[in-house]
Chains A and B, each alone.
Chain A
Amino acid sequence: MASVELPVLKPGDYGSDQDVRWCPGCGDYSILAQMKKVMATLGWPREKTVFVSGIGCSSRFPYYMNTYGMHSIHGRAPAFATGIKSCRPDLNVFVITGDGDALSIGGNHFMHVVRRNVNLNIILFNNRIYGLTKGQYSPTSELGKVTKSTPMGAIDNPMNPLSLAIGCEATFVARSIDVHIKHLADTLKRAAEHPGVSFVEVYQNCNVFNDGAYKYATDKALKADNIIEIEHGKPLIFGQNREKGIRLNGMQPEVVELGKGITEDDLLFHDETSPQPTLAYLLSRMRYPEFPEPIGVLRCVDAPRYDDLLNEQVAQARAEKGEGDLDKLFNSGDTWTVE
């Protein structure tokens, strides 16, 4: 057949025949649904997509997608994905991971895959708890968090995934929320389309072990004051009636009321393309309850990608030296003959 028309795929076409086994009410369902929806809009052939995950509730994700997939070992998904992408730049590779998976056991790999800018999409399901192992605190759990393993409260300082990613000079950094479905879908789509590593932190509710961890960001009455939807080129405005904004005071962000002499022009304008990661980092430091937490794309810049560079070196070597000839290699250098 000379030409085959690509079938138009619907979100349902991305579901595998496996039963989804997350707890009823888990935020993972919503992320799965949005991912399927986004997949259907990307126009990629299903067989060109690979989902790679580590271990955790969230990491069961690949089983539920009708694409290629690998459920690997705890924390190491970025390394498997690097191998796949390095050999096969033609594939669209997603890494699905949890806060424990990516930041505890996989912290080292996370850091390195990000700084290499491998062309992958990393989606971190952050429920601030270990779900699969039944409720121990995670690297993003707050100080004082009482769990089975911290009956007197957690005493390790939580880490900030966005700051970490930006510190490793991630070229695409974003945050969204499981129940904020349109925002989530838009964010996943932008991440998928970004050439280079894209890192999306998704606030995900574990209703069994950490229910309501993000209530401040999802509750209808609270969220307008506690999250701020950032957009490229736009001022940082939030609040029930969009009456508040973020202004820079020297190097410090501060919350200000609009009106009373303060106009939109006085506010901080978002620039996701800023070559320096300073602004993105500053945004990533805005934490509830002191600040509204930003959702949306913090950073989106272009930089050379590891997988491209590796394959370019292979092509360059072939162009310069010719396709490798083993017989020539074997017979090169000092040899001698025995009659």
Chain B
Amino acid sequence: MSTEFESETEQSKTVLQIEEATVRFCGDSGDGMQLAGTQLTNTSALAGNDIATFPDFPAEIRAPRGTLAGVSGFQVHFASTDIYTPGESVDAMVAMNPAALKTNVADLKPGGVLIVNSDAFDKKSLEQAGYATNPLEDESLEGFQLFQVAMTDLTRRAVDGLDLSQKEADRCRNFFAMGLAFWMYGRSLDPTLRFIESKFKKLPAIAEANRRALTAGRNYGETTDAFVSSYRVEKAKLPAGKYRNMTGNQALAWGLMTAAKLSQKDLFLGSYPITPASDILHELSRYKNFGVRTFQAEDEIAAVCSAIGAAYSGHMALTTSSGPGIALKGEAMGLAVMLELPLLIVDVQRGGPSTGLPTKTEQADLLQVMFGRNGECPMPVIAARSPADCFDVGIEAWRIAARFMTPVMILSDGYLANGSEPWRIVNFKELEPIPIKHPEGPVDGKPFLAYERDELLARPWAIPGTPGLMHRVGGLEKADGTGNVSYDPKNHQHMINTRAQKVKNVAKVIGDQEVMGEASGDLLVLSWGGPYGSCRTAVAKLQSQGHKVSHAHLRWLNPFPANLGEILRNFKKVLIPELNMGQLSMLIRNEFMIDTVSLNKVQGKPFHVTEIIEKAKTLLP
């Protein structure tokens, strides 16, 4: 896929080989920065790099143009090595206006490449961004390689003669910026040209304009004397296989569809739109030919209730939401625990409380999903650690839900949901089937007992339509075995114990906790969910510096793996970094009576590797 252009470049300008790069596009929320970032991601993935991304956008669809509140950014980290985070400090930044520059420039490395759309630095925009003087003219940007590119003007000229309004012409600026970034990292334009072709099929003039803007951006990098060098990142040495780029939400949707097929079930999703979970609903809605039924309910309560109805009727049932919606689903989730039906509840966490920071990430729903229901109401909880991992988590969650006849909570978060990374394509036939049996009728003429239990305490999943198995389920406490309503005090205690033990029994099948590094040492970094990548990278760095540090990343938060206590006790100190105020710490302290050290951050942003390293170092001898 190398183009002629690449070889030309190599002749005319210096090409520097680098191991990795972090690039950020930032601009107004109407500037198409998410698209620019996604395209650079795809083309980098296709070039064989490992990638990780971090889209960051405002809650308002269109905040007033040019304001600080309206800045939208997309960061791509690509590398020739295995990477686990979307990068810390930025190597190259494209800033489309003064507001974007102001809110982002602090993350640019000293000496980093800074490309600005100089046309956007007029008096009004500078004022809106709160600049007293023009940063392109004062000396504030001296520490960077500053390139002032008249992007608006160059784009307008590139699309000249296409009979576009000025607004339409200006909207192509992001393609110009992409073209320039593609040149800088020696990327092929082909995937983006294909994208333009399919996306703007019905708008040939717009398609042509975007093509021209993209090419103009690349040519600008190639020909202008301003840029003396471009960069190349080798292919990453990922495990052999075929790959594609996946966001967390897409991976989760596909994992769930795969789980349905593995258990020979049709999937039913009851959902109500909410950021950042909606994309799972959008994605699943496209696959009716896979037997997927999606129901956009009138609210989150109806969404989860419809899913419970689907579960009762014998389908693989799912509901998806984010923290505020999970709060609404609480009562129905309690019912699902009482009914002992398999159900998956996805919580794509975002900043809270209440509406909080709807487009930003946080991990602060852990205690909500553990305890946010009335009564003694335990539920298994599993958390994804990276965008591609969401695929496996979807399958594993359903395996447990179906085996144990229990609702299972899946935790993702905004960072995983919208971020992307390469996913090694699996072969469906190589995945382990999920066997599910529904009782077919009474055995030996004995009356059917809807709450009779197997060795792991799961009850049978008898479905309506089966003769001889008629039974009633409901939220009132039930007598063990028959499932009939019972107010007997001893029976209630027994059922509470049984439901709790059933969830504990999940630990018997999820396997032991693994540790990256030595099995004992000075410090264990214990993490869950999205911070996996930062923690893993930080621990690897510390290990390479000779520290006795290991990393354990939890997939199951309820129950904890059986050997977790032993692991924790093998380390002098345990550090738990979380994007909340210490929720896992609270659970760990309670369960294992060990002192933990928390590293907490609730700023709507993921951890930087350096933050974890710095904290870890304070705990090391």
Contact = CB atoms under 8 A, between A and B. Distances in A.
Contacts of B242: 331, 335-338
B332 A323 contact: no
Interface in B256-293: 257-258, 261, 266, 268, 270, 287-293
B324 to A, nearest CB: 16
B472 A76 contact: no
A313 B301 CA distance: 25
Contact of A322 (B287, B289, B298): B289
A334 B305 contact: no
A79 B258 contact: no
B289 A326 contact: no
B464 A339 contact: no
Contact of A327 (B313, B317, B428): B428
A111 B310 CA distance: 20
A68 B464 contact: yes
A289 interface: no
A330 B244 contact: yes
B306 A82 contact: yes
Interface stretch (B40-48, B52-60, B528-536): B40-48
22 contacts: A47-B466, A47-B467, A62-B472, A68-B470, A79-B302, A79-B309, A83-B295, A83-B307, A83-B312, A88-B465, A108-B298, A109-B301, A314-B289, A317-B288, A318-B288, A321-B289, A324-B287, A326-B257, A326-B261, A331-B242, A335-B425, A336-B47
B473 interface: yes
Given A108-B298, A334-B42, A338-B238, A83 B470 contact: no
Contacts, number: 209
Interface in A19-58: 45-48, 50, 52, 55
Contacts of B287: 317, 324, 329
A338 B51 CA distance: 14
A149 interface: no
Given A63-B474, A79-B309, A86-B268, A73 B335 contact: yes
Interface in B304-327: 305-315, 317
A335 to B, nearest CB: 5
A329 B425 CA distance: 10
A170 B298 CA distance: 17
Interface of B: 42, 45-48, 191, 235-245, 254, 257-258, 261, 266, 268, 270, 287-293, 295, 297-299, 301-303, 305-315, 317, 331-332, 335, 339, 425-428, 464-476, 484-485
A202 B13 CA distance: 85
B464 A79 contact: no
Contacts of B305: 72-73, 76, 79-80, 83, 109
Nearest to A62: B472
A314 B295 CA distance: 12
Most chain A Cβ neighbours within 10 Å, of B308, B309, B317, B335: B309
Nearest to B429: A327
B195 to A, nearest CB: 9
B315 A18 contact: no
A82 B288 CA distance: 18
Contact of A80 (B244, B290, B306, B466): B306
B464 A50 contact: yes
Given A323-B289, A330-B254, A337-B242, A84 B191 contact: no
A72 B291 contact: no
Contact of B293 (A63, A81, A310): A310
A90 interface: yes
A112 interface: yes
A72 B238 contact: no
A71 to B, nearest CB: 3
Contacts of A50: 313, 464
A336 B243 contact: yes
